[in-house]
Amino acid sequence: MSSFTIVLAALAALQVPQRPDSVRSVRTDTLERVTVRAVRAGGAAPLSERTISRDELQRGYTGQDAPLLLMRVPGVTAYSESGSFTGYSYLRMRGLDQNRVSLSFDGIPLNDPEDQAFYFSNVPDFANSVQSVQVQRGTGTSAFGTAAYAGSVNFQSLDLASARRGGELQLTGGAFDTRRAALQWRSGLTGGRWAMAARASAHETDGFRRHSGNNASSGFFSAAWYGNRDMVKFTAFAGLSKLRSSYYAAAEATVRDDPRVNPMGTDERDRFSQVFWNLQHVRAVGEHAVWTTTVYRQGAGGWFDVRVDPELWRFNLSYSWYGALSTYSYRRGALAVDAGVHVMKYHRDHFLKIWPDLEARVYDNTGYKNEQTAFAKVAYTRGRATWFGDAQVRRAGFRYDPDRNAGVSSPERDWTFVNPRVGVTWRQSPALSFYASVGSVRREPTRDDMFAGADNLDSTNAASILPLDRVRPEHVVDYEAGATWSRGGLRASANLFAMEFREEIAAVGALSLTGSPLRVNVGGSHRRGVEAEVRWKASPRLSVDATLAVTDARIRHFTDAVTGIEYRNVRSRMTPRAVATQAVAWRLPWGLTLEGEAREVSSSPLTNTGNADAVLPGYVLADAGLAWSRGSSAVSLRVNNVLDRLAFGGGYASDGTNYLFPFATRHLLVTVRRVF
């Protein structure tokens, strides 16, 4: 049955005359916004989170991949392999990499089930179709898909009913021969029942690093029907990205001499597309509860060329993923209850071709993943205290179907996890509140972890990979305590955290074919620290935003997989001790707004060995912007890295050499907006 047929059937079933009641007053944007209630943290939740509105996301937006828009959140770092705003970009939270962060869109998981990653480059201009995003740090609250191990990022789709009818054209141009165009339109609420939105985008850039550019396009469509107690919403987005590859870093000495150097050849490229759609039904049950049911499908496919001297290899990937989830939210007086269930099936094909014969396949294998999840959350307020409990049961299964000539059987793994959380929030006064919580989360290894970076399992490498339980699930117990104070235009928050790990899956020195550090269990480790942020609206014209995160991340003991050397009490890779950001926006007369941002990140280890020479240098970067708006037109000029510093966002070390990914040196981008 096609998605269009499903939509028509759902609408026909709901076209039953109903007597207007008190629920009718909230049937539009209120019903729309509760779709993420069950997986997001409410105002009294005992955890550290930040919710970023669409207005804030759009401030200074020039088409950046989503991870690069989240660097104002305490403890978050991000960079792009190309050095500029697009290409493969990566987010780290409390020093942990992106595939330990649970990503979702309207509660639907986005992390690829095999690798537990999501590549925003496949859906360029994604942030243009987001109403808000909530970032939870630590184990957070229960959601679906990949476990929230380092944290979670939940994107909410555009509100349709509350939007003004009309369109907007965005044009961006500037450094590195960058050109971007985005055209979007919203209908607003039509006839009291219908609303829709659509967007089409395209961008091209050469990238900061040589031959690291991207030629990409994307589209978004959403339509909703609103009844007295019901909402049915269909949302879809798709993207195509054609990249010149830059996923190898350059040696430090080389990149300091020539920051734009790219060790990959002009014939090393990739091309990937991605499609996502979901159909959602929201039902108001009485005056206190909401039931949401969603079916979804995702698909992606493409290839990347890598030179394995002297040949050029083409790795092909293609996946299909579909599932269904349902959540129930109840609010009445002092009690709040959220519950949810999720089932999904997924498979991804892997096959290799070698140039120039792109008809013959060297191997062809498939990985299968399925998952079933259920959770329940309860919050109860008594006096000044709100008590919170959350329990999740999650089962995941992986099966590998090898190439017919591989000479190995079909290995399987199954995992069942119980992830509980408890906490309390205490309101000392209307302005001041405190919270404390503890959460326990277990998470399975990725396919890449289990296969030691190999894309194909056969008789030549089976002895070093099988059985698949050599890399065990990792476990964290996360202790959080914090305070929030708010008065007038000033809001300040601070939290202490202690993440105590068992069997953490961490990088051990060796690199995969595409330059990613391979990982194994390292036993006991921890990440402890403090995070703080201040948001101050000093006047209607001036606002200030500052964050600080200080982290001590250590591995108590592990044996390096390459050298066999034992290490004790060493700092964890890619985790800076301190990350600080500052941002100011000053509205001037004549429709002008002046903006400035700065971020300071201390040095961090490139390995887990304690080697003082294997270090990613710290940096200070500053950006500045000037925006002008009048009526339906706006122009913004943004100068990134205004101090023209040579800085590095990521990297790795191999054979005594540091390899680094640079940020782009000073450059200008101009964006023109026209509303109609």
Number of H helices, E strands in the chain: 6, 37
Any residues with CB less than 8 A from the CB of 500 and at least 6 apart, and which?
Answer: 476, 477, 478, 479, 526
Q: What is the pLDDT of residue 510?
A: 66
pLDDT over threshold 80, residue 41: no
Averaged pLDDT for residues 60-86:
90
Dmax over Cα atoms in the chain, in whole Å?
74
The pLDDT confidence band at residue 9, using thresholds 50, 70 and 90, is very low
Q: How far apart are the first and last CA of the chain?
A: 37
The pLDDT confidence band at residue 517, using thresholds 50, 70 and 90, is low
pLDDT over threshold 90, residue 17: no
Q: What is the pLDDT of residue 245?
A: 92
Averaged pLDDT for residues 65-89:
90
Residue labelled with tokens 């959403």 = 222
Averaged pLDDT for residues 130-146:
90
Q: What is the pLDDT of residue 29?
A: 46
User: pLDDT (tens digit, 9 = 90+) per residue, 236-270?
Assistant: 999 999 999 998 999 999 999 999 999 999 999 99
Q: Could you give the domains of the chain?
A: 3-675 (2.40.170.20)
Q: What is the pLDDT of residue 72?
A: 86
Q: What is the pLDDT of residue 6?
A: 39
User: pLDDT (tens digit, 9 = 90+) per residue, 616-637?
Assistant: 999 999 999 999 999 999 999 9
The pLDDT confidence band at residue 286, using thresholds 50, 70 and 90, is confident
- 3-class DSSP state of 435: strand
User: pLDDT (tens digit, 9 = 90+) per residue, 179-238?
Assistant: 999 999 999 999 889 999 999 999 999 999 999 999 999 999 999 999 988 999 999 999
The pLDDT confidence band at residue 33, using thresholds 50, 70 and 90, is low
Please tell me the distance from the alpha carbon of residue 320 to that of residue 46, in angstroms, as a whole number.
37
Any residues with CB less than 8 A from the CB of 117 and at least 6 apart, and which?
Answer: 98, 99, 111
pLDDT over threshold 50, residue 8: no
Q: What is the pLDDT of residue 452?
A: 86
Q: Point out the least confidently predicted range of 364-378, 455-469, 507-521.
A: 507-521
Q: What is the pLDDT of residue 7?
A: 35
Q: What is the pLDDT of residue 12?
A: 37
Chain-centroid distance of CA 446 in Å reads: 17
Average pLDDT, the chain: 90
The pLDDT confidence band at residue 21, using thresholds 50, 70 and 90, is very low
Please tell me the distance from the alpha carbon of residue 577 to that of residue 75, in angstroms, as a whole number.
10
Averaged pLDDT for residues 596-604:
96
Burial annotation 344-376 (CB, 10 A radius, 16+ → b, else e)? bebbbebbbbeeeeeeeeebbbbbbbbbebbbb
DSSP 8-state code for residue 516: P
**Contact predicate 289/330, CB 8 Å:** yes
Q: What is the pLDDT of residue 24?
A: 40
User: pLDDT (tens digit, 9 = 90+) per residue, 389-433?
Assistant: 999 999 999 999 999 999 999 999 999 999 999 999 999 999 999
Show the tokens assigned to 55: 């207005």
Strand residue runs (E) in 402-464: 412-427, 432-443
pLDDT over threshold 70, residue 516: no
Please tell me the distance from the alpha carbon of residue 335 to that of residue 337, in angstroms, as a whole number.
7
Number of neighbours of residue 480 by Cβ within 10 angstroms: 24
H helices present in 452-551, as ranges: 462-465
pLDDT over threshold 50, residue 595: yes
Please tell me the distance from the alpha carbon of residue 49 to that of residue 427, in angstroms, as a whole number.
17
Residue labelled with tokens 């129930």 = 328
Averaged pLDDT for residues 665-674:
96
The pLDDT confidence band at residue 145, using thresholds 50, 70 and 90, is confident
The pLDDT confidence band at residue 1, using thresholds 50, 70 and 90, is very low
The pLDDT confidence band at residue 167, using thresholds 50, 70 and 90, is very high
Which pTM does this prediction carry? 0.90
pLDDT over threshold 60, residue 3: no
H helices present in 480-595, as ranges: none
**Contact predicate 587/559, CB 8 Å:** no
**Contact predicate 620/662, CB 8 Å:** no
Q: Express as a percent the part of the chain with pLDDT over 90.
A: 75
Q: What is the pLDDT of residue 551?
A: 97
